[in-house]
Each structure stands twice: as structure tokens, then as C-alpha cells.
Amino acid sequence: MSQPLYMQLYQTLKEQIIEGQYKSGDRFPSKRRLAEHHSLSNTTIEHAYQYLLDEGYIYSKPRSGYYVSDIESLPIVTKETASSFPENKKNKDHQARFHFDLARIDTEHFPWQQFRKYSRDVFDKSLPDILQPGAQQGEYKLRQAIAHYLFNSRGVNCHPDQIIIGSSTEQLINQVTDILTERSYIIEYPSYPPIKQVLDKKGLNYKRVAVKKNGIDMQKVQKSKHQVVYVTPSHQFPTGYVMNLKTRTQLINWAQQHPERYIIEDDYDSEFRYFSKPIPALQSLDTTGKVIYISTFSKSLFPSCRIAFMVLPQNLMQRYHHLPDKEGTTVPAPMQYMVAEFMENGSFERHLNKMRKVYRYKLTYIIDALSSYKDQLLIEGATTGMHFTITVQNGLTLNEILERANSNHVKLTPLNKYMKKNSQNKDIPKFIIGFGGIKDEALKSHTDALIKTLTI
């Protein structure tokens, strides 16, 4: 397991001092200068310096800075020093100018002014509760706003008391596995990595079931003895496929046939359907409390807000409340209040309407440009969400395309990143194209570079 960055920096600086690269009494680099030089956060630098201070390698002079201590008696060590310190990840992709990143969103159209207002309002109002640890399930004000939004936009019928706020989908899935004890799981293949990570970490039994164009392979689900199925039906990650109504109905019926069976529905970017009305959530078809609904504001607002939410069926709420030592929400109360205010007065809905147009324009621009190469490129999953897939069918191999991408300064995500190492389909040249973070003025250059990389 790799060490934290501050420990790596501490080790590097310590060895430089011991080897004599810094002499006794030399002035040590300032924290700001070192942070800028290595592109590291001030916190990382402060932690490393504190270790050096605590162990006596450096000392501080008030209003002067840091100086190297007298350590002549220390033994010399011969290890790789600065060259072994890893570059900041930000610098690793510095050669790639054209990013089709799955995680990025459009920031040019973000309602900065409104959020600044809500931020001021939260702290200007007399709300002493925001300074307290907060409600374990999340602030009621936000849960109420989410319940209202889910009913009107996704057909999800729930009470605020059924909603649990968390900082990530992974955290919420971890709570689900605590509630559904002694269960085995079915997950999509390929699938969203955190679900596998949670199951692996907790040593839980699970089976991967392939995803078809109409959704998860229900024949394999029905033959399995596993009791919980995790799906992303509205825009499967990473393939982009949309589960059709027949498969949805089959999955609901499967869950209703046994009291131990449940469905986890991850509805992560369903707000963005561009060419037709959004498909109702799987939970809206459920009449017997078999669907656990999970979603997040990472796409609809911004990733760093770190707010995800889960709707538990009523019949699981008692189990949740009786969990021993269950984790409370880790989302700061002020952020919860800001988002609640944003939702309550209609700003969130207006923001989504605007962003659908913004992302539809980006998507349409790229798809239209690629349409001239439909004999070489198969495009799928481009009706909804913030990514689609391209399968290259012109004879170029996966490795050849990756080499061309590197030469053209293009950063691509192969689908095989989410496949098993020994998969027969691992070498098929198929890529996941994220477009949300591409600026409007950069669409042409990005698309031209993509075409140059994928076509012959």
C-alpha cells in the first residue's frame, strides 16, 4: 500500500538533509515555495514539515522561516531521493490536451451568483443547528426537498423519513450491506467500480451478470440463488445501455417472488435525457417495497458537493434504525442547507433545464461530426447521461488506437478498464466518451482530435 504524499515528501526531505544536500544552518524552502514547486496542497506540505520539526531535522525562527539543524553525527543513507518522489497526478496528463473525462461537468454555466447568495443566507439566518453535528439521516429540510423533487421528476414516491443522506454512492451501498445481512449479490458486468469495491472489502459473495442492450441478463438472474441485484437501469455504467420496460418488469417480478430479494437502483445521471422524456425510475414500478433507490448530485450540481442520497423501502427502515454503531451523514450541514434552498425555490429545476440544453448541444455536436464515419465507428448509449461509447470497427487494434491517442494528445478511457483481466472482449477497441467538461469553444478541436485518433 502506497504511503500518503506527505509521508513520501517527509522521507525525501529527510534523506536530502542526511545526505548533506542541505547544510546545518541552511535556510529551508518555505512551505509556499515547496507547494508551488511540487504542485501539492499546503496541508500536505505542513504535515511533512511538522514531522521534520518533531524529529529535529529542522527548526523555525519567528518571522524568518525554517532552518536545517546540526545533524553531522547522523549516518548517511543511500536511497533514491527526489527522483523517487512521485509527481503530482495533475502533471501526469499534462501532455493530453483533449480530455473526454467521465467525471467532469460544465462549469461555465454553473449558477455561481445564486449559490453565493444561498451561502450567505445560510450563515446570515439564525440557524444554530448548522453548527451542530446534524441529523444522522441528513438535514430534514434537504430530505424534504429531495422527496418532492423525486416524486415530480422520477416518479419516486417516498417520505422524507425514508431518505438517508451520504457523501457518496459507495458510502450508501456500504450501509445497504449492513442492513441486508447474510445476502449474496448480483452486480452488472461491466459495472460501476465502487459496488465491487464495497463487496470485496466486506468479503461478501457476489456474481457478475452480463449487461445486454435491453439491460441485465434476466435469464441468469432468475437462475441464480443470489438475493440482491445492483443495477443502473436508466443509463448503465459504463455501456450507456437503457433497461427496457420488459426487463424492468421482469426484475421487479423476480424481487417480489421471495421476501429476501431486493434491487439496488443506482440512478446516477438520469436527469439528463436529451431527445425524449426521462424514463421513470425503476422504483416507481415497485408496489411492494423491493427497490432501494440511490442517486447523487455529482452530475446535476457538481462533484465536490459530495451529496448522495438513498430511499429505503418502509420495511427496511426499522432495520436501519436498529443498526448498531451506524454511521451518521458525513455531509456538512451548511452544504445540505444550501442545496435545500437551491431546490426549494425552483432554482434546481431551472438549472437542470438549462444544463440539459447545454449538454445536448455538446453531445449533438460530437455525434454529428462522428456520423460521417458511421462505417468505422459504432456509437451507443448517446440518448441520455453524460457519456456514450464508441466501438472502432475499421481494423485498428486497441493498442494502435491508444498509441495514436498518445501521439495526438488525446486522453481516452477504454471500456476494458471495467472488464475482467481475462475477458475475451478485453481487447475490443471500445471507448467511453465523456463530454460534460468540454468547453463549447473547445468542442471542434476535441472532436477533430478524436476523429483523427479513431479513424483511418
What is the β-pairing status of strands 228-231 and 185-189? parallel
Question: In the prediction, which pLDDT does 119 show?
Answer: 85
The per-residue b/e assignment along 303-338, b for 16 or more CB within 10 angstroms, e otherwise, is: eebbbbbbbbbeebbeebeeeeeeeebebebbbbbb
Question: In the prediction, which pLDDT does 77 show?
Answer: 43
Question: In the prediction, which pLDDT does 442 show?
Answer: 95
Question: In the prediction, which pLDDT does 12 show?
Answer: 85
Domains and CATH numbers, the chain: 5-86 (1.10.10.10), 98-109+357-454 (3.90.1150.10), 112-349 (3.40.640.10)
Answer whether 363's CB lies under 8 Å from 388's CB: yes
pTM, full prediction: 0.78
Question: In the prediction, which pLDDT does 399 show?
Answer: 94
Q: Which of 305, 281, 304, 306 is nearest to 294 (CA)?
A: 281
Question: In the prediction, which pLDDT does 452 show?
Answer: 97
207, β-bridge pairs: 186
Distance CA 265, CA 281 (A): 8
Compute φ and ψ for 208, nearest 5 degrees. Answer: -95, 130
| One pLDDT digit (tens) per residue for the chain, 456 residues | 467 788 888 888 888 887 777 778 888 888 888 887 777 888 888 888 888 887 788 888 877 888 888 765 444 444 444 444 455 544 444 467 999 999 899 999 999 988 888 888 888 776 677 777 778 999 999 999 999 999 988 989 899 999 999 999 999 999 999 999 989 999 999 998 889 999 999 999 999 999 999 999 999 999 999 999 999 999 999 999 999 999 999 999 999 999 999 999 999 888 888 877 767 899 999 999 999 999 999 999 999 989 999 999 999 999 999 998 888 788 998 899 999 999 998 899 999 999 999 999 999 999 999 999 999 999 999 988 999 999 999 999 999 999 999 999 999 999 999 988 777 677 889 999 999 999 999 999 999 999 999 999
Q: Report the chain's C-alpha Rg in angstroms.
A: 26
| DSSP 8-state assignment for residue 275 | S
CB contact set of 119 (below 8 Å; sequence gap of 6+): 334, 338
Cell numbers standing for residue 252: 421487479
Question: In the prediction, which pLDDT does 75 show?
Answer: 47
Instruction: Kindly list the distances between the CA atom of residue 32 and the CA atoms of 5, 46, 55, 84, in Å, as whole numbers in the listed order.
Output: 16, 10, 21, 22
